[in-house]
A = this chain, B = another copy of it.
Amino acid sequence: MRGNTSDTEPDIERVPWDHVELTVGEVAARSGVAVSALHFYERRGLISSRRTSGNQRRYRRDVLRRVSFIRVSQRVGIPLARISEALATLPADRAPNVRDWERLSRAWRTDLDARIEQLQRLRDDLTDCIGCGCLSLSRCVLANPKDALGQDGPGPRRLLVDEPD
C-alpha cells in the first residue's frame, strides 16, 4: 500500500493539487483503463511518467485528461497512431490547459461528422436495398459502391463485363 507517512508528510498546504502524483494503479482505477493498457500507451508514447528511485511510475494528474482524451478519441474511431500525433502537438513545457484540449477535441469533429454521414448513407442504401431485396452485384448501390470499381489498389477488380447475376 501507498500512503503518506506521518513522519515525512510534506506541508500539504504548500503542495498544489497539480503536483500530487498518481501511481499506475491509481490512474487505472480512476480512468477505468487497465494497468496493462497504461503500460501499453506509455510504450507507444501516448502518456509518460516519472520514475521513482525504485523504478515505479508516477504520473502527473494531467495524465487523467490524456487517458480520457485517448478513450474518447477511440470511441470516435481514431487509431492510436493518430491520437498519438494529436497528443504530440500539446505543449511540452507546461501542463495542457482547457484551450489545448478544446483544440484537439474540435479536430475530431470533422472525422466524427464524416463517419456519421457515411453510416447514414449506408443506412439509406440499406433501406432501399430492403425494398429492392437485391444485393445484386450489377445493380445494387449497396453491393457495388463506386469505390469497388477500380483505381484503388492492386489486384483484379471487376474486370469482366457485367452479366446478370
Question: Is A106 part of the contact surface with B, judged by Cβ < 8 Å?
Answer: yes
Interface size for A (C-beta < 8 A) is 57
> Could you tell me the distance between the alpha carbons of A157 and B32 in the complex, rounded to whole angstroms?
5
Residue on B nearest A137 in the bound complex, by CB: B64
> Could you tell me the distance between the alpha carbons of A114 and B127 in the complex, rounded to whole angstroms?
15
Which residues on B sit within 8 Å (CB–CB) of A106?
A: 130
Task: Tell me if A's interface is mostly helix, strand, loop or mixed.
Answer: helix
Q: 5 closest pairs, A vs B, by CB?
A: A98-B133, A68-B143, A32-B148, A102-B133, A68-B135
Interface residues of A (CB under 8 A from B): 17, 25-26, 28-32, 34, 61, 64-65, 68-69, 71-72, 75-76, 98-99, 101-102, 105-106, 108-109, 112-113, 115-116, 119-120, 122-123, 126-127, 129-130, 133-137, 140, 142-144, 148-149, 155-160, 164-165
Beyond contacts A65-B137, A65-B143: 15 other A-B pairs, Cβ-Cβ < 8 A, are: A32-B149, A32-B157, A61-B165, A64-B165, A65-B136, A65-B165, A68-B135, A68-B144, A99-B133, A102-B133, A105-B126, A105-B133, A106-B130, A109-B126, A116-B116
